[in-house]
Amino acid sequence: MKTMKKLAVVTTTRADYGLLHPVIKGFRKLEDEAFKLILIVTGTHLVEKFGYTVSEIENDGFRIDYKIKTAMNSGSNEEIAENISTVMTELTKVFEAEKPDGVMILGDRYEMLGVATASLITSSPILHISGGDTTEGAIDEYIRHALTKMSYLHFTTNETSKKRVIQMGEEPERVFNVGSTSIDNIFNEKLLTQKKALESIGLTADKYIICTYHPVTLLTSDGLKEVELLAGVLDEFVKKGYHIIVTKANADLGGNRINEFWDEIAAKNTGFSVFASLGRLRYLSLVKYASAVVGNSSSGIVEVPALKVPVIDIGSRQKGRTRSNAVLEVNLDDDGRKLTETLEFALSEEGRLRAEQGDSPYGEGRAAEQIVGITMDYLKKGMNLSKSFYLPENYE
């Protein structure tokens, strides 16, 4: 009789679920008497003001094995610390009971520190997706690299990130450049038509701009001044006939105030529509037909260039992340003039041509397939917490 292998996958937000979706789908297809996937949902998924996105997971037909609720009220530093502790404590209980052969995590959310610590305490090897990326303007930078050192197996989104993971002492045979699963979503899912995508959010706009702006967690500012400037610039384009579709900020410190501001704007300006979450399929479908995408989300660096849509990355939050040559970069000055000029260019024929001719450094849509295949191979032969610190032969 075969010994059942178990893999736990943890998702905390709409963002990481969108990236994990094709991976979860691939593992679910392999479930039998010899393999079990344990899906664990926590974080903003279970909070109404962030869209209660656990419903998207359920609508996708995925069995959820555990739901771990965390406090998502003030977004204060104390609450963040409490959430990390809650996730660590509750998942330690889960891992003690389930005894998974591996725990798969993605990215750099602070909750993942709790996941990773629980994994180490219970001797559950960690498989990390998206290590080696850099985002110099966010605390995510520290968390991501810490998770790399806590992990056994690594799936990077690009070759530069693979080199960084190895540079951190991880043995090359445990590091795989598979590309980004967000490209899988673009190439392998049937996106909605423009008409259906707009109807799903109650709009009929012919021209629209999508905006997502998250707190820049390594700045002392809460981001409100920057968002006010951003809204002022976008309003100029509302007056030119564009509708603005805003997806709200994440649960980082300052996110609540940013989201309250967007709600206030939408209440008095019909040119703005604000959503806690659009969901994976609807978001990508809307991006496909957008006139431009503006903000500081990683989506603007990874997915939008692959869809050949003009994109503007604002500020330092994504600084250092490998990017397409089509991405336009701008800092918000005191009057927003630079952003206005850059957005005018993005909406021009020249800007559209730049987007159409840009490259996409995040793979060809086979990331999930590779992650699933490599993981299953390692589960069969076994993983442990013992690993050597790799130094290249020519290291001095």
Q: 150-176 pLDDT, tens per residue? A: 999 999 999 999 999 999 999 999 999
Report the pLDDT averaged over residues 4-18: 95
Say whether pLDDT at 12 is over 60: yes
- Residues 211, 103, single domain; the answer is no
The closest of 308, 257, 285, 258 to 201, measured between CA atoms, is 285
Percent of the chain with pLDDT over 90: 83
What average pLDDT does range 5-10 have in this prediction?
A: 98
Mean pLDDT of all residues belonging to the chain: 94
Confidence of residue 221 (pLDDT cuts 50, 70, 90): low
334: pLDDT strictly greater than 80: no
Of all residues in the chain, what percent carry a pLDDT higher than 70?
98
Q: How many C-beta atoms surround the C-beta of residue 40 within 10 A?
A: 23
Q: 137 exposed, middle or buried (CB, 10 Å; 0-12, 13-18, 19+)? A: buried
Identify whether residues 138 and 227 lie together within a single domain: no
Beta bridge partners, 292, equal 209
Q: Domain for residue 392, yes or no?
A: no
Question: Looking at the structure, do residues 159 and 236 belong to the same domain, yes or no?
Answer: no
Higher pLDDT, 392 or 227: 227
Question: Residues for the chain: how many in total?
Answer: 396
| In a domain? residue 70 | yes
* Residue 258 belongs to domain with CATH number: 3.40.50.2000
Q: How many domains does the chain have?
A: 2
What pLDDT does residue 88 have? 98
Residue 313: which pLDDT band, with cuts at 50, 70 and 90?
A: very high
Based on the domain organization, do 203 and 274 belong to the same domain?
yes
Say whether both 136 and 172 belong to one domain: yes
**Residue 45 burial by CB count (10 A; 0-12/13-18/19+): exposed, middle or buried?**
buried
Mean pLDDT of 311-324: 93
Instruction: Please report which confidence band the pLDDT of residue 2 belongs to, taking 50, 70 and 90 as the band edges.
Output: low
Question: Which pLDDT score, from 0 to 100, does residue 1 have?
Answer: 46
Residue 196 pLDDT more than 70? Answer: yes
Q: Maximum distance among all alpha carbons in the chain?
A: 69
SS3 readout for the chain = CCCCEEEEEEECCHHHHHHHHHHHHHHHCCCECCEEEEEEEEHHHHCHHHCCCHHHHHHCCCCCCEEECCCCCCCCHHHHHHHHHHHHHHHHHHHHHHCCCEEEEECCCCHHHHHHHHHHHCCCCEEEECCCCCCCCCCHHHHHHHHHHHCCEEEECCHHHHHHHHHCCCCHHHEEECCCHHHHHHHHCCCCCHHHHHHCCCCCCCCEEEEECCCCCCCCCCCHHHHHHHHHHHHHHHCCCCEEEEECCCCCCCHHHHHHHHHHHHHHCCCEEEECCCCHHHHHHHHHCCCEEEECCCHHHHHHHHCCCCEEEECCCCCCCCCCCCCEEECCCCCCHHHHHHHHHHCCHHHHHHHHHCCCCCCCCCHHHHHHHHHHHHHHHCCCCCCCCCCCCCCC
In a domain, residue 310? The reply is: yes
pLDDT digits (tens, 9 = 90+) for 49-99: 888 999 999 999 999 999 999 988 877 889 999 999 999 999 999 999 999
Average pLDDT of span 181-205 = 95
Q: Which distant-in-sequence residues (6+ apart) come within 8 Å of 332 by Cβ?
A: 226, 229, 230, 314, 315, 338, 339
Let me know if residue 390 belongs to a domain: no
Residue 239: pLDDT above 70? yes
Residues 308 and 375 reside in one and the same domain: no
The predicted model gives 30-41 an average pLDDT of 97
User: Both 133 and 195 in a single domain?
Assistant: no
In a domain, 389, yes or no: no
Is 396 part of any domain? no
**200 and 265 housed in the same domain:** yes
Enclosing domain of residue 128: 5-179+365-381
pLDDT at 73: 81
Does one domain contain both 124 and 84?
A: yes
Confidence at 335, pLDDT banded by 50, 70, 90: confident
pLDDT at 222 over 80: no
Q: Are residues 295 and 161 in the same domain?
A: no
Q: In what order do the strands lie in the sheet with 311-314?
A: 272-275, 243-247, 208-212, 292-295, 311-314, 328-330
Query: Does residue 197 share a domain with residue 80?
Result: no
Amino acid at 155: F
Domain-embedded: residue 129 = yes
Q: Does residue 24 sit within a domain?
A: yes
Q: What is the pLDDT of residue 60?
A: 94
pLDDT score, position 354: 98
Residue 261 and residue 127 in one domain:
no
β-strand pairing of 328-330 with 272-275 = unpaired
pLDDT at residue 225 in the model:
87
1-21 in b/e form (b: 16+ CB < 10 A) is eeeebbbbbbbbbbbbbbbbb
Q: What's the pLDDT band for 349 if we cut at 50, 70, 90?
A: very high
Q: Answer for the pair 128, 165: CB distance below 8 angstroms, yes or no.
A: no
